[in-house]
Chains A and B, each alone.
Chain A
Amino acid sequence: DAGITQSPRHKVTETGTPVTLRCHQTENHRYMYWYRQDPGHGLRLIHYSYGVKDTDKGEVSDGYSVSRSKTEDFLLTLESATSSQTSVYFCAISEPDGSPLHFGNGTRLTVT
């Protein structure tokens, strides 16, 4: 898993509550990403970061915010969770040297 830890691994929450997912890496990689995986949609990029405090939107960023205050941590926040955000969320890391993305094992989020 290339030194990537996602927490929590599973979470059930209610509609309207805030949720924060954490990705922690020990590889000192510059780039970090949040994807969500849904049936029929594959992996869709939510947000990514290209350095501390440097982030940008992906394909499906509405309803999500991110923060990266340290190289090793990338947080994904759902300010007010909705049922459409029920999904499996994957964090990934990479370096801009031609190396591929490496993924964590995912967080399964259920919004009831």
Chain B
Amino acid sequence: DQQVKQNSPSLSVQEGRISILNCDYTNSMFDYFLWYKKYPAEGPTFLISISSIKDKNEDGRFTVFLNKSAKHLSLHIVPSQPGDSAVYFCAASARTSGTYKYIFGTGTRLKVLA
């Protein structure tokens, strides 16, 4: 069973507009969430994280929102740039249980149109 789900395989957005990528999870023990960006032929690179004690974390153009009751998180990119075109993965772990296993979603391919 997929504990972390990204239901949109792809997303196209116009340059300068907002990109919203979504992620849902099923395991209520997850307490730490991360977003990664991946370009072809490279490893995933860390973008931003959020702990379950928060509902929002911001870093420049990137903001992650966490809705624990809905078991949902989203990544907002404002404004979107062509260089943001990549595959985005969300990941989750249950750190307070002493487990440092990170479970990833299936990814969303973002295309930012110039």
Contact = CB atoms under 8 A, between A and B. Distances in A.
Interface-centre pick from B34, B104, B105 (highest chain A CB count, 10 A): B104
Interface size class of B (residues with CB under 8 A): 20 to 34
Given A31-B100, A45-B101, A94-B100, A101 B106 contact: no
Contacts of A90: 43-44
A101 B103 contact: no
Given A40-B106, A42-B105, A48-B101, A102 B89 contact: no
A12 interface: no
A74 interface: no
Nearest to A48: B101
A103 B43 contact: yes
A103 to B, nearest CB: 3
Interface residues of A, number: 28
Nearest to B106: A42
A76 to B, nearest CB: 15
A109 to B, nearest CB: 14
Interface of B: 6, 32, 34, 36, 41-46, 49, 89, 91, 95, 100-107
11 contacts: A1-B43, A4-B43, A48-B100, A90-B44, A96-B100, A98-B95, A100-B34, A101-B46, A103-B45, A104-B43, A106-B41
